[in-house]
Amino acid sequence: MTQTAEATHPAPTAVPAPPLLSVNNIEVVYDDVILVLRGLSLEVPRGSIVALLGANGAGKSTTLKAISGLLKTEDGEVTRGEIIFDGERINGIDPDKIVRHGIFQVMEGRRIIADMTSLENLRLGAFTRSDGEVNADIDMVFNYFPRLKERTGLAGYLSGGEQQMLAIGRALMARPKMILMDEPSMGLSPLLVKEVFAIIKEINRDLGVTILLVEQNARAALSVASHGYIMEQGKVVLDGSADELRDNEDVKEFYLGGAGDQRKSFKNLKSFKRRKRWL
Ligand SMILES: Nc1ncnc2c1ncn2[C@@H]1O[C@H](COP(=O)(O)OP(=O)(O)O)[C@@H](O)[C@H]1O
Ligand SMILES: [Mg+2]
């Protein structure tokens, strides 16, 4: 026997799994004229948490709404490029159909229904489902967020943190493959931010739900994400692993505090170099 095992059975070449979501070079226009996204691309691997970071007005929420189809409700349109989810092109599809494909967006500012109870809000999240496990999933959500179970009154009386938890719980009720979260840290105390992000991490780990996390709070987002994209003026200007981004001097200066109003733009940086890790 002179032949090695490798010679008879060559090791399979590792083919990278296709990302669950891939946004390819999209342009988004509001009201037929206002160009907000200008060739934006990003990828979210299955089972991962990816952060999309950037200052106010960069186009983060627009990106999420392009993916979830909610742009339509604001007279916005994807005019170029494509969005591929789980192997299918989804741009142009109605938002309720996109929920059925397995994407659920947690809107900025929570948007829970104030004059319904937590329980009723959770049931609404399950609107696409006809299986008999809705009650079991309500128990699961209460398990993640025990406080919601104690508060039986109208959701409008919940604290900001509790409303954020309810919004995330409602998303879970759809049993999505992917949750798009728009600034879950907004308006929460640092302690609550920690708590909510720990639960986001847990949900990702336990349930395998893929998460695209939009944040202005780069520090919190990079503490749970494996990869991050930074966007400015409708485009991605930098991307990399969460560790790379945390160690990047420019990211530290602009997005991890310290610079305050002095914040400059990546656009003007000589050191700027786009890294396309997954392309
Ligand atoms: N419905 C809309 N109609 C017109 N312009 C909009 C609309 N929504 C957002 N914009 C504009 O698009 C840009 C990006 O907004 P947005 O996606 O909300 O950014 P971010 O979430 O990063 O703060 C902003 O200049 C904003 O004024
Ligand atoms: Mg926003």
194: domain CATH number is 3.40.50.300
Q: What is the mean pLDDT of the chain?
A: 88
Residue 259: what pLDDT?
44
* Cross-strand pairs, 78: 28
Confirm or reject: Cβ of 60 under 6 Å from ligand 1: yes
Residue 5 lies in a domain: no
pTM over 0.85: yes
* 3-state DSSP assignment of residue 179: strand
Ligand 2 center to residue 2 CA distance, Å?
Answer: 64
Query: In angstroms, what is the C-alpha Rg of the chain?
Result: 20
Break the chain down into helix, strand, coil percent, rounded to 5.
40, 25, 35
Residue 52 lies in a domain: yes
* Cross-strand pairs, 214: 52, 182
Residue 142 has pLDDT above 50, yes or no: yes
**Proportion of the chain above pLDDT 90, given as a percent:** 74
Confidence at 183, pLDDT banded by 50, 70, 90: very high
Number of domains observed in the structure of the chain: 1
Residue 271: what pLDDT?
47
User: Which ligand approaches the C-alpha of residue 28 most closely?
Assistant: 1
Domain, as residue range, for 218: 21-107+176-258+270-278
Q: Which atom of ligand 1 is nearest to the CA of 214?
A: 21
Average pLDDT, stretch 145-170? 93
Residue 270 has pLDDT above 90, yes or no: no
Average pLDDT, stretch 128-143? 92
Instruction: Write out pLDDT tens, residues 88-98.
Output: 999 989 999 99
Residue 16 lies in a domain: no
CA-nearest residue, atom 27 of ligand 1: 57
Residue 124 lies in a domain: no
Confidence at 16, pLDDT banded by 50, 70, 90: confident
Residue 93 lies in a domain: yes
Residue 139 lies in a domain: no
Residue 269 has pLDDT above 70, yes or no: no
Ligand 1 center to residue 234 CA distance, Å?
Answer: 10
Residue 126 lies in a domain: no
Angle of the 134-144 helix axis to the 118-125 helix axis, nearest 10: 120
* Cross-strand pairs, 13: none
Residue 71 lies in a domain: yes
Instruction: Provide the CB-side half-sphere exposure for 160 (13 A, CA).
Output: 13
